[in-house]
Amino acid sequence: MPEIRNYTLNFGPQHPAAHGVLRLVLEMDGEVVQRADPHIGLLHRGSEKLAESKPYNQSIGYMDRLDYMSMMVNEHGYVKAIERLLGIEPPLRAQYIRVMFDEITRILNHLLWLGTHALDVGAMTMFLYCFREREDLLDCYEAVSGSRMHATYYRPGGVHRDLPGTMAQYEPSRWKTPADVQRLNASRSGTLLDFIEDFTGRFPTRVDEYETLLTENRIWKQRTVGIGVVSPERALQLGLTGPMLRGSGVAWDLRKKQPYAVYDRMDFDIPVGVNGDSYDRYLVRIEEMRQSNRIIRQCVDWLKANPGPVMIDDHKVAPPPREEMKADMESLIHHFKLFTEGYCVPEGEVYSAVEHPKGEFAVYLISDGANKPYRVKVRPPGFVHLSALDEMSRGHMLADVVTLIGSLDIVFGEIDR
């Protein structure tokens, strides 16, 4: 009988399947995991302390860089906390824009998760398929903010600006023939809303393609079915949220249970799993993309029919209009004062949570009446989910650890902060 070797194995922090600078110390019995000890902190940037040293409106960009795959949803949690302390509410059109971009961000996140998770398990093609759709949605980010990732588009009191009336066009080059350019620009001749509407029309077919490749694929099911099973009771005890919790059969979604913005006006369903394994978490996220597509389409229809302001008309919080600023020295001075010194927020504390693509993302703010927060504490979903990895991986094979890390959908910007 061969001797079974017990040994300790380092996984990461430079491992390509670690989804960031994760270092796992694995105690192995042959190829079976006995214990998984996550070591974090290798990325630590002190985002919360940096936010405490700056005026409120200068820290929105830090939120983008927490989970850098779910940028605008992070911003939403932060600006919602500031708005609650200030006692202000953004205009209705701004709320619809926020919900639309929250769901665009959810699809962006799930596309990257699906592509990289499948790649970790051994399915190369999925990565290429998912990034095809991500390109269109990143163009939406760029259209409203000028940036494909770190948008800083949400502001206390609304959003930075209204949706643009045109989309950037492709131009001929030595890599693109005129026929290619015409095909690529077919959906770009109208407004941003027209472009998003066109995307929502074809995206369900794209999700069908993903499912054709994976859902009944016997290798995919062998690698995910029964891997990392978490019961509903244990999922609640571990503090799991989002698809991790819903994959275990618990229908908890802040968009339904504690509605914010205009989610109470949206018609969508909460997908839940049955077995609580990696395969169910995959199915939940696939269905979430379909539901997000439904929400985006509802927002597009409403926004097309209802013009209006996208920022509150309170110049203690909102900058003056650019035309006014260029014509009036007083408005120009106010503009500079607002962006350098910010504004004072009434004393108080608030916990503001949003349904992030990965789970419950929350910001706890304490104000002492100054122009910068006394305390900022971020509650990231990935940090909590990573703490469950030890329990989920015990008794599984080494190769299953890679599947489980992908199933958790972790990004280290929010874990290490």
What's the CA gap between 365 and 354, in Å, rounded? 14
The pLDDT assigned to 416 comes to 85
The pLDDT assigned to 19 comes to 79
Residues 9-29 have pLDDT tens digits of 888 787 777 777 888 899 988
Residues 102-143 have pLDDT tens digits of 999 999 999 999 999 999 888 888 999 999 999 999 999 999
For the chain, the domain total comes to 1
Helix (H) or strand (E) holding 351: strand 348-356
What's the CA gap between 264 and 243, in Å, rounded? 20
- Are 272 and 251 in contact by the 8 Å Cβ rule? The answer is yes
Q: Is residue 300 part of a domain?
A: yes
Q: Is residue 390 part of a domain?
A: no
The pLDDT assigned to 15 comes to 76
Q: Is residue 11 part of a domain?
A: no
CA distances from 331 to 318, 320, 336, 344 (A): 12, 6, 9, 19
Point out the residues of the chain with pLDDT beneath 70: 1-4, 334
Q: Is residue 251 part of a domain?
A: yes
Q: Is residue 3 part of a domain?
A: no
CATH number at residue 275: 1.10.645.10
DSSP string covering 245-263, please?
A: HHTTT----HHHHS--TTG
Q: Is residue 187 part of a domain?
A: yes
**Phi, psi values for residue 216, rounded to 5°:** -105, 15
Q: Is residue 257 part of a domain?
A: yes
Residue 39, helix vs strand vs coil: strand
Q: Is residue 355 part of a domain?
A: yes
- Confidence (pTM): 0.91
Structural domain including 365 reads 45-378
Residue 376, helix vs strand vs coil: strand
The pLDDT assigned to 1 comes to 52
The pLDDT assigned to 200 comes to 94
The pLDDT assigned to 17 comes to 76
Rounded to the nearest 10°, the torsion over CA 275, 387, 48, 263 is 10
**Chain mean position to CA 85:** 24
